[in-house]
Chain A
């Protein structure tokens, strides 16, 4: 019991004193997951929009693959990219293993299906009359697509927030390809795993509190976007 109390007190001290190592780990986590999310959104949103608005060959299969991808086990993705990026692997020449870049790649692969799939769902739900209105008012094909995407913005943002939740909490994949190197690839989740296994609870608890606060923020954001999108949007609610 004493070790838990000591751990909490130490954690509070770390948070209050803004310990540099503690801050660096949080910053790196946000940097890696934030970058992965931006890349996943840049790739996932157009894919979701394309699948929702155009007749794409194999659309059903692609959607099934994306749905499956939403539940990809992070350790399997980590293992796959470890094999690809290891010195003897086909992409070993890139020398990305045990770098933040490798962690970003793994997290991007994990977030991409979530963003693409939920963007697709949000865009597909937009009432077709919105697209027709854009066309009759003289929109070009690109303006028409952007108008529909804009109408689905709350659903898309909910997808992005869900993707952020997935990558921020992820540990298996980035541990394999990042290596948990202090000051370089050590992020919140991998530090918690390491420090817990060492019985050093102060930093683990402090980072756990921060992770919970981030998760709370993500969920509040998700709730906001879901409510905003549900209450008023071009989305059909009554059909």
Chain B
């Protein structure tokens, strides 16, 4: 039984614009959700709130496990991950970029070495292991971001337009990675995308953010 993400009555307003209003939904563990909506509809805001990066103006984000609500502490935050549209690449090697999440969790060097090498192979960046992360192409940078997320094995993995502005080859690679995660069913995946075809290819559930509400399609 994994983490259940439940949002209830979320509201968020920026000056001159309300992006979320009375937004409620329950995301079941191990399922993959594709969330669509026009620009400015609040998809990114929703993900940031769900990932506990910013508070809503009203409403609640609840993570439930075995029927109990988990407190919003570091332990919970470390079970979630949001892949932002812009990957903040650290000025160090690809290896150390990917190892970051494990290092800050105090994992042993041997485990880090093995895990990172395995993930780099999965995302096709094993040959760039020693290269500075800042020297990667935009598609490779996205894959680096996904590798950094995969290595920490998030139980709720949110991706904010991971294939925006990258070529077809990299898009296919990233979709394959998400589909592999979906097949493993170890994480709840929430993918924000503008591409309805991609949403259908990847998602178990298609959702739209309309007028501040999440609605199933």
The answer, among A136, A140, A151, for a CB contact under 8 Å with B81, is A136
Asked if A138 and B152 sit within 8 Å, CB to CB, the answer is: yes
Q: How far is the CA of A234 from the CA of B84 in the complex (A)?
A: 16
Asked if B100 and A137 sit within 8 Å, CB to CB, the answer is: yes
Q: How far is the CA of A234 from the CA of B88 in the complex (A)?
A: 8
A127-184 residues at the B interface, CB under 8 angstroms: 127, 129-140, 143, 147, 150-151
Asked if A151 and B90 sit within 8 Å, CB to CB, the answer is: yes
Output the least CB separation between B112 and chain A (Å). 14
Q: How far is the CA of A130 from the CA of B91 in the complex (A)?
A: 10
Asked if B89 and A136 sit within 8 Å, CB to CB, the answer is: no
Sort chain B's interface into a size bin.
20 to 34
Q: How far is the CA of A151 from the CA of B134 in the complex (A)?
A: 12
Asked if A234 and B51 sit within 8 Å, CB to CB, the answer is: no
Known: A129-B84, A136-B81, A137-B152. A232 touches B91 (CB 8 A): yes
Output the least CB separation between B216 and chain A (Å). 27
Which residues of the partner chain B approach A150 to less than 8 Å between Cβ atoms?
Answer: 90
Known: A137-B152, A138-B152. A234 touches B91 (CB 8 A): yes
Which residues of the partner chain B approach A139 to less than 8 Å between Cβ atoms?
Answer: 104
B62-120 residues at the A interface, CB under 8 angstroms: 74, 77-78, 81-84, 86-91, 100-101, 104-105
Q: How far is the CA of A137 from the CA of B79 in the complex (A)?
A: 9
Asked if B91 and A233 sit within 8 Å, CB to CB, the answer is: yes
The answer, among B77, B78, B90, B134, for a CB contact under 8 Å with A133, is B90
Asked if B91 and A151 sit within 8 Å, CB to CB, the answer is: yes
B122 at the interface (CB under 8 A from A): no
Which residues of the partner chain B approach A127 to less than 8 Å between Cβ atoms?
Answer: 88
B135 at the interface (CB under 8 A from A): yes
Known: A151-B91, A232-B135, A234-B91. A138 touches B104 (CB 8 A): yes
Nearest CB to that of A146 among chain B residues? B104
The answer, among B53, B132, B148, B149, for a CB contact under 8 Å with A132, is B53
Q: How far is the CA of A135 from the CA of B84 in the complex (A)?
A: 11
Sort chain A's interface into a size bin.
20 to 34
Known: A137-B81, A139-B104. A147 touches B74 (CB 8 A): no
Which residues of the partner chain A approach B135 to less than 8 Å between Cβ atoms?
Answer: 232
The answer, among B53, B78, B84, B87, for a CB contact under 8 Å with A138, is B78
- Which of A131, A133, A134 has the largest count of B CB atoms less than 10 A from its CB? A133
Q: How far is the CA of A138 from the CA of B81 in the complex (A)?
A: 8
- Which of B74, B78, B81, B88 has the largest count of A CB atoms less than 10 A from its CB? B88
Output the least CB separation between B84 and chain A (Å). 6
Which residues of the partner chain A approach B149 to less than 8 Å between Cβ atoms?
Answer: 137
Known: A132-B53, A135-B53, A232-B134. A140 touches B87 (CB 8 A): no
Asked if A137 and B101 sit within 8 Å, CB to CB, the answer is: yes
Q: How far is the CA of A189 from the CA of B78 in the complex (A)?
A: 55
Asked if A147 and B86 sit within 8 Å, CB to CB, the answer is: no
Q: How far is the CA of A135 from the CA of B74 in the complex (A)?
A: 10
Output the least CB separation between B91 and chain A (Å). 5
Q: How far is the CA of A131 from the CA of B152 in the complex (A)?
A: 17
Q: How far is the CA of A147 from the CA of B148 in the complex (A)?
A: 15
Which residues of the partner chain B approach A138 to less than 8 Å between Cβ atoms?
Answer: 74, 77-78, 81, 101, 104-105, 152
The answer, among A129, A140, A143, A232, for a CB contact under 8 Å with B88, is A129
Output the least CB separation between A106 and chain B (Å). 36
Across the A-B interface, give the 5 residue pairs with the lowest CB-CB distance, nearest first.
A133-B88, A129-B88, A138-B78, A130-B88, A137-B101
A selection of 15 A-B contacts at a CB cut-off of 8 Å is: A127-B88, A129-B86, A131-B88, A132-B84, A133-B84, A133-B89, A133-B148, A136-B82, A137-B101, A137-B148, A138-B104, A139-B104, A140-B74, A147-B100, A232-B91
Which B residues have a C-beta under 8 Å from some C-beta of A?
51, 53, 74, 77-78, 81-84, 86-91, 100-101, 104-105, 132, 134-135, 148-149, 152
A137-B148, A138-B81 are known; give 14 further A-B pairs, CB within 8 A: A127-B88, A129-B86, A130-B88, A130-B90, A131-B88, A132-B84, A132-B88, A133-B84, A136-B83, A137-B100, A143-B104, A147-B90, A232-B91, A234-B90
